[in-house]
Chains A and B, each alone.
Chain A
């Protein structure tokens, strides 16, 4: 299966490509008081953000709440967006910070069982037999469970890399880490995933 969100094929290309300038235009309009422009940004990124957050936090409801809060914060703080990074990078940074903050507050509730909660609307193969569907579902649950067992710092990086297709540089920007740390955590995270699944 290809990357969940292949930047080169998505209309909201966040790291390079022509769509970044479209974001810039919308941001400028939103800053000028055209709030509908911000709505367009929400429309562009809401599903991608939800997908990433759902895998990261392990719960569609929590992902929904975090995404809501992230869009609100982005809207309110839009004037502080310097444009040094892509809007999407900035939005992700906000969302991940919110996730971490909320996770700290409710840490005792966190359980690997929540991995089974990850849902949302998952595309189904039209011609897949029930047994194959079941097998695929079990396999997905296994991977999600292994992912949930990783420390947050590894899980976030792997999701940004494998599901979002972010470059190391982009991940470093989103998570505000040195690029060397990103490199080593991706490597260690993959090794941990491999160990968990064998």
Chain B
């Protein structure tokens, strides 16, 4: 007898074709081992789905002192990426608050700046340039 194997998981997820589903149901009717496996798979699925939804810690938003909605992340001084991200979030927040429909730079220009600074400046944050340019320098 050929057991259902991974077809069982696909069936639980509604990812089988009608033909596969019919084959599985017919097999399950006569196979205790596959019935047990099905129950085990269902249990594993349920236990994962019971994991809590994690929200961004409130302290992260408070630490920034910036827009609660748009700027979720804190600055990480040791990582240029963190600084870059904070910078872009700040820029986005400022742009959101101050001039939602009129920002001087296009993303093409931002990308160009990023590529240029990556080539020339090594580890310089790409978005620092963005903030400066957006700040009217």
Instruction: Report which A residues bind B (CB closer than 8 A).
Output: 1-5, 30-36, 38-40, 42-43, 46-47, 50-51, 54-55, 60, 64-65, 67-69, 71-72, 75-79, 118-123, 139-140, 143-144, 147, 158-159, 161-163, 167-168, 183-184, 186-188, 190-191, 193-194, 197
Alpha-carbon gap, A184 to B69, bound state (A): 39
Alpha-carbon gap, A144 to B41, bound state (A): 17
**A34/B50 contact (C-beta < 8 A), A39-B96, A60-B57 known:** no
Asked if A167 and B15 sit within 8 Å, CB to CB, the answer is yes
Asked if A4 and B72 sit within 8 Å, CB to CB, the answer is no
Q: Collect the chain A residues with CB atoms within 8 Å of residue B54's CB.
A: 50-51, 54-55, 60, 118-122
For residue A75, give the distance in angstroms from its CB to the closest CB of chain B.
6
Q: Collect the chain B residues with CB atoms within 8 Å of residue A184's CB.
A: 6
For residue B114, give the distance in angstroms from its CB to the closest CB of chain A.
5
B25 close to chain A: CB less than 8 A: no
- Interface residues in B98-137 by Cβ distance below 8 A to A read 99-108, 110-111, 114, 126-127, 134
For residue A172, give the distance in angstroms from its CB to the closest CB of chain B.
11
Alpha-carbon gap, A67 to B81, bound state (A): 10
Name 29 A/B residue pairs within 8 A (Cβ), A-sorted.
A2-B49, A4-B52, A5-B53, A39-B70, A39-B93, A47-B72, A50-B72, A64-B74, A68-B76, A68-B85, A69-B81, A72-B126, A75-B110, A76-B107, A77-B111, A121-B58, A122-B53, A140-B50, A140-B52, A162-B45, A168-B10, A168-B13, A168-B15, A187-B10, A188-B6, A190-B9, A190-B40, A191-B40, A194-B40
Q: Collect the chain B residues with CB atoms within 8 Å of residue A161's CB.
A: 13
Alpha-carbon gap, A101 to B106, bound state (A): 29
Nearest residue, chain B, Cβ from A37: B100
Q: Collect the chain A residues with CB atoms within 8 Å of residue B10's CB.
A: 168, 183, 186-187
Contact of A158 among B48, B50, B100 (CB under 8 A): B48
- Known interface pairs A71-B89, A194-B41; 20 further A-B residue pairs with C-beta atoms within 8 A, sorted by A's residue number: A1-B50, A4-B49, A33-B103, A36-B92, A36-B99, A42-B70, A60-B54, A64-B56, A71-B88, A75-B107, A76-B114, A121-B58, A140-B52, A167-B15, A183-B6, A184-B6, A187-B6, A191-B44, A194-B43, A197-B44
Nearest residue, chain A, Cβ from B114: A76
Asked if A123 and B92 sit within 8 Å, CB to CB, the answer is no
Asked if B51 and A163 sit within 8 Å, CB to CB, the answer is yes
The contact string, 1 if C-beta is below 8 Å from chain A, for chain B 66-84, is: 0001101110100101101
Alpha-carbon gap, A139 to B52, bound state (A): 11
Asked if B111 and A38 sit within 8 Å, CB to CB, the answer is no
Q: Collect the chain B residues with CB atoms within 8 Å of residue A3's CB.
A: 49
Alpha-carbon gap, A159 to B42, bound state (A): 15
Alpha-carbon gap, A68 to B50, bound state (A): 27
B2 close to chain A: CB less than 8 A: no
Asked if A186 and B79 sit within 8 Å, CB to CB, the answer is no
Asked if A120 and B55 sit within 8 Å, CB to CB, the answer is yes
Alpha-carbon gap, A44 to B50, bound state (A): 23
Nearest residue, chain B, Cβ from A76: B114
Nearest residue, chain B, Cβ from A70: B85
